[in-house]
Structure 1
Amino acid sequence: MTTLLLLGIGMQEVLLIGLIFLLLFGGKKIPELMKGLGKGVKSFKDGVKGIEDDIEMSDKENKDKKAQ
């Protein structure tokens, strides 16, 4: 079988982890957990984009100063 993320995790292990996750948190909590995880990932992406924008603006300002 194929491995997941080159960590040597096969489909059987993924299913076992999913089953344990389901047993621990129950079917009703999983959507809430995934929603929270999604918000966290979105927040992280927004933060990274903000930093990239700041760096880009800084580079533009440095180029403008050198041109004068």
Structure 2
Amino acid sequence: MFGIGGSELIFIIFVVLMLFGSDKIPEFARSLGKGMAQIKNATNEIKSEIQKGTKDTGLDMNSLTGGITDEIKKAKEEINKSVNPLSNITSDIEKPIQQAKEDIENMTGPIKRQL
């Protein structure tokens, strides 16, 4: 969790107890939770306003980000091909094996039904 180990977390809890006292911690946690909820609501409102604005202007957010997503996907595939050239070989081998399995299943299907 955020790169914090168990002993570090216990130390942080101990320091918080020493600074605020056990009676102030629930109040502090409530205010922290309310603040996080307000931040979440604000970001959701901003997202919805951006989406409304793009719809009003006739822009499509999916088409704007879709091109970027496709380019990232292509770049990842090219990197994977250059780093691990054997990955293409395994996919080329798997297709005929799968086809052979389907052919065998199709041939043995009528035999199984007769038994």
Normalising by the smaller structure, the TM-score range is 0.7 to 0.9
The two structures have a TM-score, normalised by structure 2, of 0.48
Unaligned runs of 5+ in 2: 60-115
Once residues 45 and 12 of structure 2 are traced to their aligned partners in structure 1, the CA distance between those partners, rounded to angstroms, is: 35
What CA deviation, in whole Å up to 9, does each residue of 1:25-65 have, x standing for no partner?
A: 1111000001000110011011101100100100111118x
| Regions of 4+ moved over 6 Å | none
Once residues 52 and 17 of structure 2 are traced to their aligned partners in structure 1, the CA distance between those partners, rounded to angstroms, is: 46
Alignment RMSD (CA, Å)? 1.3
1:26 aligns with 2:18: no
Matched residue of 2:58: which SS?
Answer: helix
* Match runs of 1:45-64 below 5 Å: 45-63=40-58
What CA deviation, in whole Å up to 9, does each residue of 1:3-27 have, x standing for no partner?
A: x31x3x3111110110111111111
Q: How many residues align?
A: 59
Once residues 10 and 39 of structure 1 are traced to their aligned partners in structure 2, the CA distance between those partners, rounded to angstroms, is: 26
Q: Identity across aligned pairs (percent)? A: 34
Larger relative contact order, structure 1 or 2 (CA cutoff 8 Å, min sep 6): 1
